[in-house]
A and B are shown apart, each in its own frame.
Chain A
Amino acid sequence: MKPAVLVATIVFIVLAILHQDVWNWDNADLVFGFLPVGLAYHAGYSLTAAVFWALVTRFAWPSNLEKWAEGSDESTDH
């Protein structure tokens, strides 16, 4: 496994664990005076996921697959 893919896999597992945020379960505080903390955390989580995938597509892109895909034009297409 390439180092970038290994790092991406580890970060993915960490993000999956962080999704559980048990520490926010009964926290009714408001962020910016209108966002319940449980919602603010997960909205931030969505943005973090986007940044994570941006980094994955930058550093762990499977360019070998693109080369392999171009290798044959055998077609069963209709």
Chain B
Amino acid sequence: MTPIYIILAYLGLLLIFALGSKKFFRGTSADYFVASRSIGPFMLLMSVFGTTMTAFALVGSTGKAFELGVGTYGLMASSSGLIHAACFFVIGIRLWAIGKRHGFVTQIQFFRGRFESNGFGYLLFPILVLLVIPYLLIGVIGAGKTMMGLTGPKGPKPGLFPELFEATNGAIPPWITGAVICLVVLGYVFAGGSRAAAWANTFQTLVFMAMGILAFTMISNKLGGLGPAIEQAKASHLVRTESGHAGVSPVTFLTYMFIPLSVGMFPHLFQHWLTARSAKSFKLTVVAHPICIAIVWVPCVLIGIWATGVLPPDATPGAVLAKMIGILVKDPVIVGLVTAGILAAIMSSLDSQFLCLGTMFTNDIVLHGSKRQFSDKQIMFIARGFIVGIVALTYLLSLLLFDKNVFDLAVWCFSGFAALTPLVLAALYWRRATKAGAYASVIATAGSWFIFFAMSGFGGEFTVFGGIMPVAICWLAGAVAMIGVSLATKPPSAESVARFFP
């Protein structure tokens, strides 16, 4: 029971910490949505890093390294260090300037303004929501699986609560974990809005980084130190050469570099950029993001490689970290702390996205289409209502799709956002980009993405033409459509261009 007490204590501490931000809450909708544009450099770094890492950070990285080997880091982490920071610098700072100058809060507001089209917002909003939902599901399903692994049967012994949960052989069922996680996140997002989310993200990001290092140290000690730990790993996992399921093809490795572009179109990051306190707030995020990735991913990838010498090859990748801790470390305090770290990584992604969807729905759909004047209280009521609806939908979907491989689903979600980046790059840097080009780009991207998604069996691992990631083709489709249609249509007005280009 010790790990459960530690997790409950952590959740309680998180709530107290996040709700502590309420004393700074000014009671206005601007404060609820964007913390009155007061998020400084450190909180921006922690928020951006925490929301970007998801359940993938600790659980997925370890599982992928157990499957693919050493190539996992280059495939998913080091490329992100370069590309994420590039997106922050090239897209983020320019968006901050436009957001500051014109008062934009959401992604849709920016695109509506840039392309002078209300309809474009109505096209983009459902696409963004549909892409965010798998991202949310990764978190809630990942949390359910983590808690089932922690409290489930170990060998012939039943799980921690055999009398309470007979159907799961004593493990805490996913409907309880999902409900607790959703309620905790909902609790502080509902009460404190974006400031509470930023505070909670900072706290949670520090916790999951520290717990990753703790898990790494404890496991390596149990394996006899760093040298012996790597010596007992499978030789096939020390290289990138393809053998069986391990390794990665050079074409996949190359085209996987498109995936990190997804941060350029994540709605919650867009909102951070549009509403940051100052351009200088970005400096720390741009520089420290690759280092934060290394701090989390190098230990996790090593644990995944070490696990090839400890666990049977058919072990579930998503359970590798929990099994390594459970089998090797055994100490219930450490098990509880590391599990709390995994939940921290998961929740730090959920809060910003719930809040962001509420902000977009309120500003871009309800207020935008209404001639009525709403009071601050009414605006916050609408946003909170939508957030509750999205949390409930996510919770129900997580129960229905619990057996899906969430990490494969994540790659599809990231691919969709990444493939939309020609839109934002053209909007920011190409004066000749037109409304028709924007429509064509989104339709080409969404259409090609959906075709590949269907070909994959709706969410499976999938490459085309000998290893090319579908995202590369969707991205090119979006870019070609944007350029071709923009050149074929009437250029935007000079006044419109002047509003968006310094």
Contact = CB atoms under 8 A, between A and B. Distances in A.
Interface in B92-109: 93-94, 96-98, 100-105, 109
Interface string A32-53: 0111101101110111011011
A54 interface: yes
B85 A49 contact: yes
Contacts of B254: 20
A42 B85 contact: no
A66 B276 CA distance: 12
Contacts of B229: 34
Contacts of A50: 81, 85, 287-291
Contacts of B293: 46
Contacts of B180: none
A33 to B, nearest CB: 5
A74 B89 contact: no
B502 A64 contact: yes
Interface residues of B, number: 62
Nearest to B229: A34
A57 B283 contact: yes
B463 interface: no
Given A43-B73, A78-B30, 17 more contacts: A12-B86, A19-B257, A28-B238, A30-B230, A33-B227, A34-B230, A38-B239, A38-B240, A42-B73, A43-B298, A46-B77, A50-B85, A57-B286, A62-B279, A66-B278, A69-B100, A70-B101
Interface of B: 29-30, 33-34, 70-71, 73-74, 77-79, 81-82, 85-86, 89, 93-94, 96-98, 100-105, 109, 226-227, 229-230, 235, 238-241, 250, 253-254, 257, 278-280, 283, 286-291, 293-294, 298, 301-302, 305, 362-363, 367, 379, 502
Nearest to B241: A26
A41 B86 CA distance: 20
A70 B30 CA distance: 19
A71 B425 CA distance: 23
Interface size class of A (residues with CB under 8 A): 35 or more
Nearest to B374: A78
Contacts of A64: 502
A34 B305 CA distance: 11
B81 A45 contact: yes
Contact of A15 (B71, B77, B82): B82
A43 B301 CA distance: 11
Contact of B290 (A26, A39, A49, A69): A49
A20 B253 contact: yes
Contact of A46 (B29, B78, B367): B78
Given A19-B82, A65-B93, A54 B287 contact: yes
B250 A20 contact: yes
Interface string A1-42: 000000000001001100111101111101001111011011
